[in-house]
Amino acid sequence: MEPAEPSWAEELAALTGWSGDRRPLDWEAVERELGLCLPRDYKLLAETFGAGTFDDDVDLCVPKARHLALDLIAADRADFAGSAPSSEPTIRILRWARTSAGHSFCWHVADPDPEEWPVFARSDKWEPWERFDSSAAEFIHRMLTDPKHPYSLAEYFEVVR
């Protein structure tokens, strides 16, 4: 039997040199309070890193964190510039990360399967939301390593090996 591929959260931990202890959360209580199930990838990311900042810029929002809690937002359909994930006038999105520069990273939470939620990102409240078909951990990993990513921090990030 071949070993399982590492998850994006595990890849991110290796990339950043993270070696802290996991912080288990009561996901059942969190999801009950939100009224939503959350993606497995995000749960691993949140338990691995906790609330905090990647590369002094990307803040990971984690349930119950004092200043970095998950944030359920009602977004205007017009803010999606042709990529609106729904025909509803108001679209529910859940912010799971942000930057000090005002960027927001969210999921559109309409699909009952959280593993299918796309990431939506925008640089500020005046810009339209952009869709990315990736998990939260993959999105952050690509931000830190891919110089062509629209929200790239690759030129500032030093890979730990």
pLDDT per residue as tens, the chain (161 positions): 665 787 888 888 888 888 777 788 899 999 999 889 999 999 999 998 877 777 667 888 888 776 666 777 666 666 665 555 555 666 778 889 988 888 889 998 888 899 999 999 988 877 888 889 999 999 999 988 999 999 888 887 665 54
| Residue 56, domain member (yes or no) | yes
| Residue 90, domain member (yes or no) | yes
Q: Which domain holds residue 41?
A: 8-145
Q: Which two tokens stand for residue 122?
A: 């925008």
**What integer pLDDT is reported at residue 76 of this predicted model?**
67
| Residue 161, domain member (yes or no) | no
**What integer pLDDT is reported at residue 28 of this predicted model?**
95
| Residue 125, domain member (yes or no) | yes
Of 84, 106, 87, 86, nearest in space to 95 by CA: 106
Q: Cβ distance 139 to 39 under 8 Å?
A: no
| Residue 154, domain member (yes or no) | no
**What integer pLDDT is reported at residue 80 of this predicted model?**
63
Query: Cβ atoms within 10 A of the Cβ of 4, count?
Result: 7
| Residue 155, domain member (yes or no) | no
| Residue 18, domain member (yes or no) | yes
Number of domains in the chain: 1
**What integer pLDDT is reported at residue 69 of this predicted model?**
67
Q: What is the pTM of this model?
A: 0.82
| Residue 156, domain member (yes or no) | no
How far is it, in rounded angstroms, from Cα 36 to Cα 117? 12
DSSP class of 53 = E
Helices (H), the chain: 8-16, 27-34, 40-49, 136-145
